[in-house]
């Protein structure tokens, strides 16, 4: 049996969300698209630094019409309340983007 990764249990993401995010990262950070997977950690695996992440965040906010609460997320990770995987592994990031998009529509 294939056990889905923790971030994908019960709160998956839209495949189109991942495609958009991966495209943004590939273009903004000059990373080959094929290296970017839902399991990739933006910092640990892809080596995106804080300035590039600012670019990525801007492009994601614009593409989805949302405002990712990056300051809150960073604080939660720094305080050890949440694993950085929740927000920085792309599958987790996409799940959170979908939640923000859903909250906007609701």
Q: Residues 49 to 88: which contact other proteins by CB under 8 A?
A: 50-51, 54-55, 57-58, 61-62, 67-72, 74
DSSP for 37-65 reads -TT-BTTTTT---HHHHHHHHHHHHHHHT
Coil vs helix vs strand at 89 = strand
Q: How far apart are CA 38 and CA 36, in angstroms?
A: 7
Nearer to other proteins, 62 or 99 (CB): 62
Would you say 37 or 72 has its CB closer to other proteins? 72
Binding site for other proteins (CB under 8 A): 50-51, 54-55, 57-58, 61-62, 67-72, 74
């Amino acid at each position: 049996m294939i056990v889905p990764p923790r971030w994908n249990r019960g709160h998956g993401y839209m495949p189109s969300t991942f495609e958009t995010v991966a495209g943004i990262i590939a273009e903004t950070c000059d990373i080959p698209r094929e290296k970017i997977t839902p399991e990739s950690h933006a910092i640990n695996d892809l080596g995106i630094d804080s300035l590039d992440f600012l670019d990525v965040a801007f492009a994601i906010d614009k593409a989805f019409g949302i405002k990712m609460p990056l300051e809150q997320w960073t604080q939660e990770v720094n305080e050890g309340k949440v694993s950085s995987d929740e927000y920085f592994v792309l599958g987790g990031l996409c799940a959170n983007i979908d939640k923000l998009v859903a909250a906007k529509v609701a």
